[in-house]
Amino acid sequence: MKNNGRLDNARNTRTLSRWCLAGALLLCLCSATARAQLTIEIIGGGGDQIPITVLPLADEETFPQRISQIVSADLTRSGRFKLQDIGSVRPLPSEPNEVNYRYWKNRGTQTLVLGRVIQRTDGKVEVRFRMLDTSKEAQAVGYAYTVVTSQMRAIAHKIADVIYEKLTGEPGVFSTRIAYVARFPQRYELHVADADGANSQFILAHNEPIISPAWSPDGTRIAYVSFEQHRSIVFVHNLVDGTRRVLAAYEGINSAPAWAPDSKKLAIALSKDGISQIYMIDADGTDPTRLTNSGAIDTEPSFSPDGKYILFTSDRGGTPQIYRMSVTGSNVERMTFEGNYNVTPRYSPDGKSFAFIQRMQGRYSLALMDLATRQTQILTDSQLDGSPAFAPNGRLILYASIVGGRGILAAVSSDGRIKQRITSSAQDVREPAWGPLAANR
């Protein structure tokens, strides 16, 4: 049983990386600007995986993007599904009335995905998919999308999201985007990519460091810290029109931008009045209001999803620890007590826990604290982890790590069971940030 699982995992990894490679090659042909492609490799898994059979959609092979393969890769990467083989019955069914339910039930298939891709006379493409419950011999969900060919990859992610949500009860994150920083010799690039690492493009590039990208909750802007003027300055970059403006360029440090849930304000760290303190500032850069007044380092604010609280890092107690305060700066409460170095708190999307970095025996590991029980779970066992970023459904946490002297991105499920490693052609990748769920779901 154990052996089977390992074989399956290995096969999935191979298939995935083959697809990522194909995708990367395709992208290189399409876009000269995309120099740092990501490759996602699942390095752990298991637990209660949902078995599912995704059949090739009829006629999908005549299009550059094979929908069923992108859907399968998405579901596999989430770690929550066990992709089963497609059996031997031919021709493959593409409509419910062609399905021999007895055959699939005998194979142990509970959930079957099928469909068809149709080239329409107006040049558009119709993608039809259905998910069938073989025990009920009925459709669980089904949609038809009419799109242009360039949107087929996006539609595949959307189908994976629908399947994920139907089977887990939680939103899928396959249609979301991530941001990260790629470092080349003498060059830093801020990239935005699809959640599967495809379509990676930089939105800013220069030869000084870029850190702390943060997506606005409405998905239209990214705030970040750039050293292009040889000191830390916070910018807000509009992804819709590509323009950007300075959010804060006061004397001293301007850093650690965190968006309020309404996308209208940000909490940031400024040292304009002496030492790094937390301020609230309007998204247009006006009206910074001081929230902390500690005489110690206060930085790394993170809003609770309801906008009522801010978690932050402070060394007011002698060592850096995580504190929580109300959004007005009152009722400050220390949250971490184990160890002498707890930093970079990030609220989970449901507000029930927070991820942070904890130093234990010289290791900097990703940890998760449950706010109700105040129990901490260590999720990683590497040496230098940092910059955690929750997927918008809270299931995965992206983070930065160092492997073999090189910066990589990695992801771990919030229960610690599924692990992914994301590598790039860049010298280093770091500072991941996960964008919000698509608004028009």
- What stretch of H or E contains 325? strand 321-326
398 and 432 Cβ atoms separated by less than 8 Å = yes
- Angle between helix 67-78 and helix 152-168 axes, rounded to 10 deg: 40
Phi, psi of 88, deg, nearest 5: -120, 0
Cis before 171 (ω within 30): no
- Closest among 392, 366, 415 to 175, alpha carbons compared: 392
SS3 168: helix
201 and 207 Cβ atoms separated by less than 8 Å = no
Strand partners for 321: 314
Binding site for other proteins (CB under 8 A): 209, 211-212, 225, 227, 230-232, 252-253, 255-256, 269, 271, 274-276, 297, 299-300, 313, 315, 319-320, 341, 343-344, 357, 359, 364, 384, 386-387, 402, 405, 431
Nearer to other proteins, 55 or 357 (CB): 357
Beta strand 353-360 pairing with 363-370: antiparallel
- Angle between helix 67-78 and helix 2-30 axes, rounded to 10 deg: 130
- Closest among 307, 312, 305 to 291, alpha carbons compared: 312
Alpha-carbon distance of 367 to 359, in angstroms, equals 10
175 and 193 Cβ atoms separated by less than 8 Å = no
| Non-local CB neighbours of 359 within 8 Å, separated by 6+ positions | 339, 340, 341, 342, 365
Q: What is the DSSP letter of 123?
A: S
